[in-house]
Chains A and B, each alone.
Chain A
Amino acid sequence: GQNIDQPTEMTATEGAIVQINCTYQTSGFNGLFWYQQHAGEAPTFLSYNVLDGLEEKGRFSSFLSRSKGYSYLLLKELQMKDSASYLCAGRYGGATNKLIFGTGTLLAVQP
């Protein structure tokens, strides 16, 4: 398998910054996605990294290191509505380009 790992749960305070880490197997890897999923809803796309470095999009940023098999999602100026699951997903494999998800991180934002 592709063994994509992330912390199961995290807690942070409104207005603060939180970093959610993800490690993945590098064999066959060709891109890293982050999704947000609120309870009872489908995942929604947050970010995509294929090259090393930081991609910034508003309050959310995502970082990738291909050599280390490592990514993180950075959420700034946390809001209560950011309480959700954050899913790291790696794209793998040639013609099929299938998306394999990590275990997901449940983030709770507290007042």
Chain B
Amino acid sequence: SAVISQKPSRDICQRGTSLTIQCQVDSQVTMMFWYRQQPGQSLTLIATANQGSEATYESGFVIDKFPISRPNLTFSTLTVSNMSPEDSSIYLCSVADSSTGYTFGSGTRLTVV
């Protein structure tokens, strides 16, 4: 299965600022996904990162708040913009690296103060 390097692993940010999270995959993958996991809850899909086109966002998530880049088949970034304490969460990237397998990055634990 694919190996994902996600960074930063954690950060503490001031409200109103932005943070960009990076995911690097060790192989080319068509689909990359970004999730949010709020404390004590399950994973919520933010968007699908498409190579060569705009990301596809799920209901409740918008590009202005969570801009995504996907410059090639091994890399993607998620930016959390104009942060507020409600954005404190774990953010995870994921790839579909086989017909049955989805692999996750180690996550970015974000605290907004």
0/1 per residue, B38-80, Cβ < 8 Å to A? 0001111100100000001001000000000000000000000
With A42-B92, A48-B100, A104-B41 as known contacts, state yes or no: A97 contacts B106, CB within 8 Å: no
Known: A96-B31, A97-B96, A98-B33. A87 touches B43 (CB 8 A): yes
Residue ID in chain B nearest A99 by CB atoms:
B102
Asked whether, in the complex, the Cβ of A43 is within 8 Å of the Cβ of B100, the reply is: no
Q: Which residues of B contact A1 (CB under 8 A)?
A: 59
**Nearest-neighbor residue (CB-CB) of B103 within chain A:** A45
Residue A74 lies at the interface, judged by CB distance under 8 Å to chain B:
no
Q: Which residues of B contact A98 (CB under 8 A)?
A: 31, 33, 45, 48
> Interface of chain B, helix or strand or loop or mixed?
strand
In this complex, how many residues of chain B approach chain A with their Cβ under 8 Å: the count is 23
| A72 contacts the other chain (CB 8 A) | no
Interface core residue of A31, A43, A89, A97 (most chain B CB under 10 Å): A43
Measured in the bound complex, the distance between the Cα atoms of B43 and A44 in whole Å is 13
**6 shortest interchain CB distances as A-B pairs:** A104-B42, A42-B104, A101-B43, A48-B100, A101-B42, A96-B48
Interface residues of A (CB under 8 A from B): 1, 31, 33, 41-45, 48, 85, 87, 89, 96-104
Offer 23 A-B interface pairs, CB within 8 angstroms, sorted by A. A1-B59, A31-B100, A33-B102, A41-B107, A42-B92, A42-B106, A43-B104, A44-B104, A45-B1, A45-B103, A48-B101, A96-B31, A96-B48, A96-B56, A97-B96, A98-B33, A98-B48, A99-B45, A99-B94, A101-B45, A103-B41, A104-B41, A104-B42
8 further A-B contacts with Cβ under 8 Å, apart from A97-B31, A99-B96, A101-B42, are A45-B1, A96-B31, A97-B96, A98-B33, A99-B33, A99-B45, A101-B43, A103-B42
